Structure 1
Amino acid sequence: MNIEDYRSHCLKKKGVTEEFPFDESTLVFKVKGKVFALTNVDDFQSFNVKCDPEKAIDLRERYAGVKPGFHMNKKHWNTISVYSDFNDDQMYEALDHSYDLVFSKLPKKVREELTDD
């Protein structure tokens, strides 16, 4: 996966925005203001995604390229190395899972607005 594919995959999801709220190099993707993925655009070596806690532990045990979230809540976030034993399809699945987790926590009215588009 490269930065363009990562960015494109995130932006095709409903209600997603991209911004740089922390600094000029940390690209953050949000769904209706809630973060679901972030990465360093200057050095795209890894990215952080939200993850179900049990699934997070399982992925970390099975793949060297999946670590507890760097600078994030280690229970709910994973850092995925782009150059690792975690393949591109799994990376896209991790992004989808993160988006779905965050989306599911949005207020019902907001979720309905996004799915009605």
Structure 2
Amino acid sequence: MENHELKRYLLNKPFASVGQPFGEGIDVYKVKDKMFATLALGKMGQESSAHWWVNLKCDPDEAAILRDIFEAVIPGYHMNKRHWNTVILDGSIPQGEIERMIDNSFLLVVSKMTKKDQTSILVHV
């Protein structure tokens, strides 16, 4: 999945926005001011890699399973490693699987919001 496709997919989520609160080169994607993804070239803006890295929130049990299945999924870089995975976009993970991980991250964040906010978001999903 190319980074421009990924950016478009992330921003197509209901109420999604992007900013750079951690500095230039690190895009932070939020739903109603709650982070569900970060995207940067290399190690979160350090450009130590030719690949884009995306951090996604994940159920802890599923996070461990995904790390076992895919070499390009590692514990969340600069994140809570129990609840976040870093996905290295090196072409080894099918696009549908990356989209599923994004969807799950988004829904996990929404599930922690107030019922009012959940309802206003989920009606668009």
Same fold (TM over 0.5): yes
Runs of 4+ in structure 1 over 4 Å off = 41-44
Select between 77-86 and 45-54 the one with higher mean Cα deviation.
77-86
Q: Name the CA distance, whole Å, in 2 between partners of 1:84 and 1:9.
A: 17
Gapped runs of 5+ residues in structure 1?
A: none
Q: 1:21-100 residue pairs with structure 2 within 5 A?
A: 21-40=21-40, 44-100=51-107
Amino acid at match of 1:55: E
Contact 1:49 1:94 in 2 (8 A): yes
State TM-score, norm by structure 2: 0.86
From 103, 109, 114, the equivalent of 2:110 is 103
- How far the C-alpha of 1:20 sits from its partner, in A, is 0.6
Q: Name the CA distance, whole Å, in 2 between partners of 1:62 and 1:47.
A: 17
Deviations 1:31-84 (A, max 9, x none): 111100001157552110000000000011111111000000000000001115
Counting aligned pairs with the same residue, the percent is: 34
- How far the C-alpha of 1:15 sits from its partner, in A, is 1.1
Contact 1:64 1:84 in 2 (8 A): no
State TM-score, norm by structure 1: 0.92
Contact 1:66 1:81 in 2 (8 A): yes
Q: Name the CA distance, whole Å, in 2 between partners of 1:70 and 1:94.
A: 16
Aligned residues between the structures: 117
SS in 2 for 1:112: helix
Gapped runs of 5+ residues in structure 2?
A: none
- Give the root-mean-square deviation of aligned CA atoms: 1.6
